[in-house]
């Protein structure tokens, strides 16, 4: 019987020669080294490509249109186009808006008549929100048929107590006005631009200059003070704006020009001669007293003080006077505000 050959499972060792050849083989270069070798072989081609891109970019820049230099003709054309196609607020409107929130209505009361008015009981309301007419009197519905701001005779309504104007000069509630607005008043009530009302007290007076400073006991949020300018820059013919509460109506705005400087005015009682006044022709009536006279930059340059009327009407005929803001500051001992 034929014998089967038996084989060992032990792996055969490699020949020593093969190990020697493997040890003698050089190591394979890294990826970075191979990349640099590749770039070195193609260096001329890369340089050419870079020069081509640079040349293309230079040509692109040179072919771009050059910006046109801005000239005065271009500026004039742009301004003219804006004026023709957009309505802009007038100079006087901008000046009045600059001080609008700083102008206040001042009401003076003898004794406590103002408090009595505020504490009066409210009238009962009728079925549809109207007011029930008083026996033998007129209903509120009938009263609404009258023109606004007029009484039965068609005239401006009479105010309870004296009414004047003022301008906030310090945002803590310090207000500049005329002395004759607060003279004789036992109680002062100030109404601000947003309708907020507060009692006020007098803190300084200068009767011979017809000036007074009052301070509100409480103020609305974010109360702005007016920007004060200089009357030394004024000249006859300059535009000015008067803002105030004529006959308690307002704030009302009127515009005009400076008619003259360094004027004098004798008070109705003949007790005081006011000097260094600004004469202006912006409409002013009783109630404008104490309000600001404003230049076209929105700066207060004077305090409306008086109007001249040769008749007994006491209304405006074209001549008004304002104390300069410099005189107002020195008179009340608060320069330069």
Catalytic (active-site) positions = 180, 210, 289
CA-based nearest residue to 228, from 322, 293, 320, 173? 293
Q: What are the structure tokens assigned to 140, written together?
A: 């509120």
Integer Cα distance of 287 and 164 in angstroms:
4
């Amino acid at each position: 019987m034929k014998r089967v050959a038996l084989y060992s499972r032990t792996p055969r060792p490699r020949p020593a020669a093969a190990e020697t050849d493997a040890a003698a083989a050089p190591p394979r270069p890294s990826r970075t080294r191979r990349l640099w070798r590749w770039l070195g072989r193609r260096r001329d081609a890369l340089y050419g490509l870079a020069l081509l891109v640079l040349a293309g970019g230079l040509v692109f820049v040179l072919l771009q249109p050059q910006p046109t230099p801005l000239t005065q003709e271009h500026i004039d054309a742009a301004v003219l186009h804006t004026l023709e196609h957009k309505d802009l607020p007038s100079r006087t409107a901008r000046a009045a808006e600059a001080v609008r929130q700083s102008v206040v209505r001042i009401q003076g009361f003898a004794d406590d008549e103002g408090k009595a008015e505020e504490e009066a009981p409210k009238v009962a309301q009728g079925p549809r929100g109207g007011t029930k007419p008083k026996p033998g009197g007129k209903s509120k519905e009938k009263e609404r048929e009258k023109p606004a701001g007029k009484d039965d005779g068609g005239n401006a309504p009479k105010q309870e107590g004296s009414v004047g104007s003022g301008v906030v000069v310090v945002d803590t509630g310090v207000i500049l006005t005329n002395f004759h607005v607060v003279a004789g008043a036992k109680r002062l009530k100030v109404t601000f631009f947003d309708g907020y009302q507060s009692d006020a007290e007098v803190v300084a007076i200068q009767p011979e200059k017809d000036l007074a400073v009052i301070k509100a006991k409480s103020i609305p949020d974010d109360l702005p003070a007016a920007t004060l300018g200089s009357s030394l820059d004024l000249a006859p013919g300059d535009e000015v704006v008067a803002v105030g509460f004529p006959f308690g109506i307002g704030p009302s705005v009127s515009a005009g020009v400076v008619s003259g400087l360094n004027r004098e005015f004798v008070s109705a009682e003949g007790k005081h001669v006011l000097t260094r006044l600004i004469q202006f022709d912006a409409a002013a009536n009783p109630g404008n007293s104490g309000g600001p006279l404003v230049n076209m930059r929105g700066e207060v340059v004077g305090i409306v003080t008086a109007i001249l009327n040769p008749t007994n009407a006491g209304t405006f005929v074209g001549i008004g006077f304002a104390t300069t803001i410099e005189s107002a500051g020195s008179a009340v001992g608060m320069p330069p505000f």
